Amino acid sequence: MTPPRMPPIPLECLTASQRAVYDRIASGPRRQIGAPHWAWLRSPVLADKAQELGRFCRFETTVEPRLIEIAILTTAAHWQAALEWDLHESEALRMGLDATTIEAIRQQNGPRFETPAEQAVYRFTLQLWHERRTSADNYAGLVHAIGEQGAVELVGILGYYALISMTIVAFEVASHIREGDVFADLREAR
């Protein structure tokens, strides 16, 4: 495994502002510092703002957790951010998404969902990533499924997890969860 471009900073080398942010993250619902946080700590203000947004997006929105996982996996697949995928694949399984559906999300190959809300979140997210806009039908389907507040919060979730995914990709943060890159086969197929 190649070391990340911005590895963890030894705790004794953190500045006072970096340490304050580190402590807020470690004492929050995450209980640990993740790979993107180590890169972000190079800019403590960014790290603090991003971790606050992340806490809201992951733990405090009105969007159901299972729908959040579908959005995160779809975003990780779009960016081919292996670490983010690996972290959330197990969470999606724990929430009851089946392995076939998860694999179809990874391949962006027509996953089948149990509920209209799941389908609406996936269609909206996939179209937003690929076309940088959404159709009137996908927008209406999303609002019907999760409401206006949910739609706004979903876009925030997508933005936050794009930030994480871009951080993982830009700073070459490999997954420590599995051997190899879960997206290697998709890159080779191009």
CATH code of the region 65-189: 1.20.1290.10
Q: What is the pLDDT along the chain (190 residues), one digit of tens a residue?
A: 677 788 889 999 999 999 999 998 888 776 777 778 899 999 999 999 999 999 899 899 999 999 999 999 999 999 999 999 999 999 999 999 999 999 999 999 989 999 999 999 999 999 999 999 999 999 999 999 999 999 999 999 999 999 999 999 999 988 888 888 899 888 776 6
| Nearest CA-CA partner of 155 in 56, 29, 83 | 56
Concatenating the DSSP letter of every residue in 72-139 gives HHHHHHHHT-HHHHHHHHHHHHHTT--HHHHHHHHHTS----SSHHHHHHHHHHHHHHHHSS--HHHH
**Whole-prediction pTM value?**
0.92
Residue spans of the domains in the chain: they are 11-59, 65-189
**143's tokens:** 């609002």
